[in-house]
Amino acid sequence: MQTYARRLPGRPGALTVRQLLDDGQVAITFEPRGGTVRALDSVPDTDDHPPYIAVGEITPLSDDIVKIHAFAGQLHRRHMRLIVRLLLEQGFRVAYVDRAAGHALPMAERIETGDWVGWWRLDLVRVRLGSHSART
């Protein structure tokens, strides 16, 4: 994972930090301060803010549980695998994921009852330890 820090214009001493993860074909950026994730359709060759094809939020709920929500755009499976990798590297074990109606999340289980009905539960550790789910 690459980390970039950039000074904010007009705000002396203020920095923005962005992390970049890629799989050699696509990439994601993550801004830890606000939890913003951006999906990129290629691996950028500079540390400039590259154009993105999807954007969403990651919100920690506890030390090992996170919520993935508010995504818009073209988030593909390769991007989701990078998000799983990012979350595991940060020590998360479970993610609750909001998906638009009619969209599935193959690595997760749909929640049918309770407070999270309609969301998806993603066991990050199982995905990491699983065979094809984490690699294809």
**Dihedral angle sign, alpha carbons of residues 64, 24, 53, 121:** negative
pLDDT in tens, the chain (136 residues): 666 555 545 555 555 688 899 999 999 999 988 899 999 999 988 767 789 999 999 999 999 999 999 999 999 999 999 999 999 999 999 999 998 888 888 889 999 999 999 999 999 999 988 744 434 3
| Lookup result for tokens 């390769």 | 78
Cβ–Cβ under 8 Å, residues 102 and 110: no
Which domains does the chain carry?
Answer: 2-129 (3.40.630)
pTM (2 d.p.): 0.83
